[in-house]
Structure 1
Amino acid sequence: MTEKIQLTRFSHGGGCGCKIAPAVLSRLLAESPLKCVPADLLVGVETADDAAVYRFNDTQAVVATTDFFTPIVDDPFDFGRIAATNALSDVYAMGGRPIFALAVVGMPLDKLPEDVIRQILAGGESICAAAGIPIAGGHSIDIVEPVYGLVALGIVHPAHLKKNAGAKAGDVLILGKPLGIGILSAALKKGELSAAGYAEMLRWTTKLNLTGTRLAKMPGVHAVTDVTGFGLAGHLLEICRGSGVAARVEFARLPLIEEAVRHVRAGTFTGASGRNWASYGSAVLPAPTIEEWQQKIITDPQTSGGLLVACAPESADEVLAAFHTDGFERAAVIGSFAAGAPSITVV
């Protein structure tokens, strides 16, 4: 029988919490401008969007993205499922439909039994099967920390493409999944996460953001992204900066994972939360009454987080209905946009 392996002990960070901090990433990319940009490259690096998009013709464009990370959970099959769900989310966030994927695999072969690695791969394959796509190849290396993810490819009609830039003053802001995944992962590492909390964590991190393909055909939807390693505030700021608008978030309306709230109020959170705040906190204007645990919530790194949608007020019911149809019953209006310098006010 294979010895029980704790995957998280092999990694210094887990899931989207191991992303390079936003401020550091900005400095790294600042002197690497995209050169020779063809007219058919509809989305590149200009607004830190979720995926690159290249137009083939008037009716077809390819969506291309890659996402991989170190273990956020100990179970290898669950790790594979979470990583694959997270990678495919970027295609859905652009309004695309996935068509196939390539596996990105880095494993410490001297530390992990082959059966454990096979379970990780099987977890990823199970999610791709649920999305109706094959894993058609990939690349693997022997590496110090376990790493798994996908290169995900999809297609979208150029007219239905949803960028993270396009929000308008007067739009409402909708979030598809509840927040708190990073906090749950921190509690798991400390041995404090309950069985119910783990089940809730898996429920959301392995739920495909299929609603993105529905949103693509809604003209009232002006901007879409997904909430991952930079937290709600970080990815919302990307929308604000790309769109040239300010956002207002009503904390009381945020869908939150109940156990995550208990843990963060008791002082459990990720290191990535602090790095996120240090990177962009100056652009977030908390009300005088906001507490430290609430700050940790809005900066909490989400692995396979929910879609964040800017839409016209008259389209809000249609957007929420689409989320609810796909089983996202916690989807909610959490704020709005107004004219002003790119920033977030939390009330």
Structure 2
Amino acid sequence: MEEKIVFCKGGGCTAKLGAGVLSRVLEKLPRGEQDPSLLVGYDSRDDAAVYKISDDTAIVQTLDFFPPMVDDPYTFGQIAAANALSDIYAMGGEVKTALNIVCFPEKMDLNILGEIMRGGSEKVIEAGGTLAGGHSIADSDVKYGLSVMGVVHPDRVLANNQGQPGDKLILTKKLGVGIICTANRVGEASEAAMHEAIRSMTTLNKYASEICRKYDVHACTDVTGFSFLGHLHEMLDGKLNCCIDASEVPVIEEAHRHADEFLLTAAGQRNRNHTGPFVEFRNIPFSMEEILFDPQTSGGLLAAVKAEQAEALEAELQNAGLPAKIVGTLLEKNSEAPEIVVE
């Protein structure tokens, strides 16, 4: 009989602390003396830290771990690893090494842990990296993820807040995996929708990142626990406005029905509370609003690309089998208008 993981209270990126709470904590931390080699740190709200070690090499560092959001341990390991590796790709980097982060109950079958780590290891290998070790502790609940190190040229770092007015926004994966996983927990998600969500969550952003490097991408982030709108708000960084065409946003179709049935997450409501004041919805159905606030686990890249190149980038991403779409436009800052308009 197949072993299954006992669900924790909140799995995947729904287990993240809310952006508002986290910001208040980080604001109080001592900064220390500024290091000019630290190109990107936590005060920038970016996806990973970037540290320059030479004129042509910078190290990209990140870590991510969380409780399970699917029953199968092997699949959970794949998703958790793909999610952790994603931050390297969001910065324009290449994965080099990874370390396992494991919390596991001593009373639970170690074969489950073996399957989780097998799934994670396979994704690190697919990324072209090396699993170099890790750390484990006994805990009451299962949690797994990776600390990842990558490299990038210092002049080609993709920060999340360097978009320019007129840039087109391209999203490389469908939204709605948080809602689908929530529906699955109560037995409401269809097998087809859950399969689509798992396929999305286990797909590395490596392939989208490699394609994006061929184009004039000015800014990039990956869409995870703070939702599409939350991560977009961070990209705008108080310096830009944005218009989103909701009809173009790629979505797992069944997520609309479950959102209308209020199969939502507490994390999604935290995202709405934090980012909602910056957003104006114009004739958008409730389900689409919720999908745009839905926390994504191992979500896609959201890239700001030069307008003249957007259609070519979209086409190349689609030809690679990704459901990428041009979803909006960055605009000049206008304090009199809503920061984000969704229509």
Read off the aligned partner of 1:222 and give its amino acid letter. Answer: H
SS at match of 2:43: coil
1:96/1:216 contact within 8 Å kept: no
Residue pair 2:62, 2:84 contacting (<8 A) in 1 also: yes
Deviation at 1:68, TM superposition (A): 0.4
Cα deviation, residue 30, structure 1: 1.1
The answer (yes or no) to whether the contact 2:82–2:201 under 8 Å persists in 1 is yes
The residue that corresponds to 1:88 in the other structure is 85
The answer as to 2:292 corresponding to 1:269 is no
**SS of residue paired to 1:56:** strand
Q: 1:165 aligns with which of 152, 161, 164?
A: 161
2:310 aligned to 313, 316, 321, which one?
Answer: 316
- Match of 2:94? 97
Instruction: Give the structure-2-normalised TM-score.
Output: 0.95
For residues 320 and 119 of structure 1, the distance between their equivalents in structure 2, rounded to whole angstroms, comes to 36
2:191 is the alignment partner of 1:195: yes
Shift of 1:323: 1.9
Q: After superposition, where does 1:103-252 map in structure 2 within 5 Å?
A: 103-110=100-107, 112-210=108-206, 211-218=208-215, 220-241=216-237, 244-252=239-247
Aligned to 1:73: 70
Give, as a single letter, the amino acid of the residue that structure 1 aligns with 2:329. Answer: S
Q: Which amino acid aligns with 1:209?
A: N
The answer to whether structure 1 residue 333 and structure 2 residue 326 are counterparts is: yes
* Residues 5 and 68 in structure 2, CA contact (< 8 A), matched pair in contact too: no
Counterparts of 1:5 and 1:305, CA distance in 2: 24
1:7 and 2:6 matched: yes
1:158 is displaced (CA, Å) by: 1.1
* Contact 1:7 1:76 survives alignment (8 Å): no
What is the rounded CA distance, in whole Å, between the counterparts of 2:328 and 2:144 in structure 1?
34
Paired with 1:173 and 1:7, the residues of 2 have a C-alpha distance of 38
Deviation at 1:164, TM superposition (A): 0.2
Contact 1:221–1:315 (8 Å) recurs in 2: no
CA shift, 1:266, in A, is: 2.5
Maintained 8 Å contact 2:3/2:112? no
Secondary structure, counterpart of 1:208 in structure 2: coil
CA distance in 2, matches of 1:153, 1:213: 17
Q: Residue 73 of structure 1 contacts residue 79 of structure 1 at CA under 8 Å; is this kept in 2?
A: yes
1:37-86: CA deviation from partner (whole Å, max 9, x where unpaired): 21111111232100000111111111000000010101100000000000
Q: Could you tell me which runs of 5 or more consecutive residues in structure 1 were left unpaired when the two chains were aligned.
A: none
**2:54 aligned with 1:37, yes or no?**
no
Unpaired stretches in structure 2, ≥5 consecutive residues:
none
User: Which sits farther off after the overlay, 264-273 or 275-284?
Assistant: 264-273
Say if 1:162 and 1:216, in contact at 8 Å, map to a contact too: no
* Shift, 1:33, TM fit: 4.4
What's 1:19 paired with? 16
| Residue pair 1:100, 1:154 contacting (<8 A) in 2 also | yes
SS in 1 for 2:62: strand
Any idea what SS the aligned residue of 2:233 has? helix
Q: Deviations over 1:143-201 (max 9, x none)?
A: 11211000011111111110001111111111000100000110111111222112101
- Report how many residues are paired: 339
Q: How does 1:300-315 map to 2 (within 5 A)?
A: 300-315=294-309
Aligned equivalents of 2:61, 2:34: Cα separation in 1 = 16
Which one-letter code corresponds to 2:326 in the other structure? Answer: V
Distance 2:212 2:29 in 1: 33
Counterpart of 1:256 in structure 2 is: 251
C-alpha distance in 1 between matches for 2:332 and 2:30: 29
Look up the SS of the partner of 1:53 in the other structure. Answer: strand
TM score, norm. by length of structure 1 = 0.94
- RMSD of the TM alignment (CA)? 1.5
Pairwise CA distance, 1:268: 1.4
Structure 2 CA distance for aligned equivalents of residues 53 and 216 of structure 1? 18
How far off its partner does 1:286 sit? 1.4
Instruction: Specify the alignment match of 2:291 in structure 1.
Output: 297
Query: Within 1, Cα distance between the matches of 2:175 and 2:260?
Result: 14
Q: Retained in 2: the 8 A contact 1:249–1:346? A: yes
Contact 1:179 1:256 (8 Å CA) reproduced: yes
After superposition, the C-alpha distances for 1:113-133 in whole angstroms (9 at most, x for unaligned) are 111111111110111121122
SS in 2 for 1:139: strand
Shift of 1:321: 3.6
Residue of structure 2 equivalent to 1:284: 279
| Percent of matched pairs sharing the same residue | 42
Measured in 2, the distance between the counterparts of 1:250 and 1:190 equals 32
